[in-house]
Amino acid sequence: MKPAKFDYVQAEALDEALATLRAEGEGARIIAGGQSLLPMLNMRLARPAVLVDIMHIAALAEATATTETLRIGAAVRQAALLARPSLHPLLAAALPWVGHAQTRSRGTLCGSVAHADPSAEIPLVLLALQGEILLRSARRARRVAATDFFTGMMQTARHEDEMIEAITIPQPRTGEGYAFREVGRRHGDFAIVACAAAAHATGVRLAIGGVADHPAARELPADSAQWDDALDAFAHALDARDDLHATATYRRQLVRKLGRQVMQEAAACRA
């Protein structure tokens, strides 16, 4: 379990990282906390020619909050964000489910978004809250809505020469309520089903992870009498599959039952 040879660039500035991405193309890979990428390197599942370490770029290590949004830089570690005195309640509820304390002390939020594992919590929260991903290449910068970013199993709208510079999450608004639940085999395991809900005056936005090959969200009506049918339709639309740890049926049932609980909880928090 030793990685194949690669070059390592410790970028001191964003421009340096972007220039390397541009020069190396698909052979380059950004490394931030390394909690997904390093095992893949060691198992030789991934063989980038160049690793670009962005953790020494001071500007990326900042999380800045305005009244409207929280902007989380690419080098902000999960543990650092979790340690902030005030945090969006949905993020605060979901972050402890990301891996383990040990992996959170290294892993970054943007790294998790870039990796786009279908069970990951951070992409799920981003989708539930309709956050944005700030992409930057040597040529340009652009913003992509979370709704458009996650396109498949570890597939995103990011181009080869782009890196995630930051993600932004809208701050909690009065009149909204949030809830998060996850079921995995053990503490810290990949979610079998993860549910994140944001309830507002006209409905509930429910995001589901671990079922489809990328996180998926739907706006559900505010009227709880319609939830069962809506959740059933959502459960079927996610195209659940069997794997070693759970059946497709189990996943759909959890979407129906846990989904309902999470929506209730979010709606109750609103009140």
Partner 1 sequence: MDSPGDKWVGQSLPRFEDAALLTGRGRYFDDCGTPPGTLHAAILRSPHGHARIEGIETAAARALPGVAAILTGEDIRATTTSLVVGVKAPMECWPIAVERVRYVGEPVVVVVATDRYVAEDALDLIEVRYAPLPAVTDPVAALAPAAPVLHDGLKGNLASERRFRYGDPEAAFAAAAHRVRIDVAYPRSACTPIECYGVLAEYDPGEDSYDVFANFQGPFSIHAVIARALRVPGNRLRLRTPPDSGGSFGVKQGVFPYIVLIAAAAKACGRPVKWVEDRLEHLAASSVATNRVTRLEAAVTADGIITALDWDQLEDCGAQLRAPEPATLYRMHGNMTGAYAIRNVAIRNRVVLTNKAPTGLNRGFGGPQVYFALERLVQRIAITLGLHPLDVIRLNLVPTAAMPYRTASGALLDSGDYATALETALRDGRHDELLRRRDAARAQGRHYGIGYTAVVEPSVSNMGYITAVLTPAERKRAGPKNGAQATATIQCDAVGSVSVHVASVPQGQGHRTVLAQVVADELGLRPQDIRVVTDIDTAKDAWSIASGNYASRFAPAVAGVARIAAQQLRARLTRIAAPLLNVPPEDVVLAGGKLHASGNADNALPFARVASSPHWAPGTLPAEDSAPLRETAWWTPPELTAPNESDEVNSSLCHGFIFDFCGVEVDRITGETRIDHYVTMHDCGTVLHPGMVAGQVTGGFAHALGAALYEAHSYADDGSLQTGTFADYLVPTAMEVPAPIILHHESPSPFTPLGAKGVGEGNCMSTPVCIANAVADALGLHDVTLPLLPATLAAHLHGAEPNAPAAAPKGERLLRGEGQARVNAPREQLWALLLDPDALMAIVPGAHGIQRTSPTDYTAEVTLGIGPVKGRYRVALALSDLDEPNALTLSGNAAGALGFGQGRGQVTLTDANGATIIAYRYEAAVGGKVASIAGRLLDGATRVVISQFFAALARQAAPQAPWWQRLLQRLGLRA
Binding site for partner 1 (CB under 8 A): 1-2, 4-5, 29, 37, 40, 43-48, 115-116, 118-119, 152-155, 183, 185-190, 192, 213, 232, 236, 241-250, 252-254, 257-258, 261
The 10 Å Cβ neighbour count of residue 139 is 10
- Shortest distance, CB of residue 244 to partner 1, whole angstroms? 5
CB of 136 to partner 1, least distance (A): 19
Q: Which is nearer to partner 1, 254 or 266 (CB)?
A: 254
How far apart CA 196 and CA 176 sit, in angstroms, is 13
Q: Which residue, 41 or 129, has its beta carbon nearer to partner 1?
A: 41
Cβ closer to partner 1: 129 or 255? 255
End-to-end CA distance of the chain: 53
Q: How far apart are CA 10 and CA 30, in angstroms?
A: 10
Cβ distance to partner 1 smaller for residue 170 or 184: 184
In the bound complex, what is the minimum distance in angstroms from residue 59's beta carbon to partner 1? 25
Q: 68 or 243: whose CB is closer to partner 1?
A: 243
Minimum CB distance to partner 1, residue 177 (Å): 21
Quote the least distance from Cβ 222 to partner 1, whole Å: 23
Q: How far is CA 209 from CA 11, 12, 124, 141, 216, in A?
A: 33, 35, 6, 28, 7
Nearer CB in complex with partner 1: 244/271: 244
For the bound state, the minimum distance from the C-beta of residue 74 to partner 1, rounded and expressed in Å, comes to 16
